[in-house]
Amino acid sequence: MLTWLDVLALFTAAAATAVGARKGLAFLLVFPLALMLYIAALPLLPPLLWPVAALVAGLLAAQTAGRLYFYLGGFWENVLGGVAGLIWGVLLAVSLWTGLPAQYSVATGAYRYPSPKLPLVVQEAVAKSPFALPLFDLVQRQPLLRKLLIGANHPAEPAPRKEASTRQ
């Protein structure tokens, strides 16, 4: 069953794909600019605002793409722009599913996602989502994805405790 969080993430991915297809090749060419803007904004913003930063960077890319004129032909123009929009949309959707705060539990040595400090309606949406928890686990296992989508704000997993050796 899809939750409101899933619908929001999937709608965002579909809208980004549509914008990319509409803008065409120009969107593909400015897509790296949007990605760099997004990555540059991450250290400056709290994690809850990262999806907003991704959305703003995508909208700026779309506006820039609207001012450029490249023409390859209707079909290829739309396909290339749609591919860039799809990549951007997937990044937005994954950031919506995995960008909520998590809480590290020292007792279990794992993250609890989402944090119990979030409103109950958000916790339920994540718990019932078929995408949020598996994607969070995937992002946690990939260092590059973890840094890009979750950031360094989560505490590092503690190193194993060294026991004091006794001299015999």
CB atoms within 10 A of CB 91: 22
Helix 74-98 to helix 25-41 angle (10° resolution) is: 20
Count of residues for the chain?
168
**Pairwise CA distance, residues 3 & 81, whole Å:** 29
pLDDT of residue 143: 82
Q: Tell me the pTM.
A: 0.72
Report pLDDT digits (tens) over 74-97: 788 888 889 988 988 998 898 889
pLDDT of residue 72: 64
CB atoms within 10 A of CB 111: 19
Assess whether pLDDT exceeds 70 at residue 40: yes
Task: Find the mean pLDDT for residues 121-137.
Answer: 92
**Pairwise CA distance, residues 95 & 103, whole Å:** 17
Assess whether pLDDT exceeds 70 at residue 162: no
Report pLDDT digits (tens) over 43-68: 888 877 877 887 888 788 777 777 76
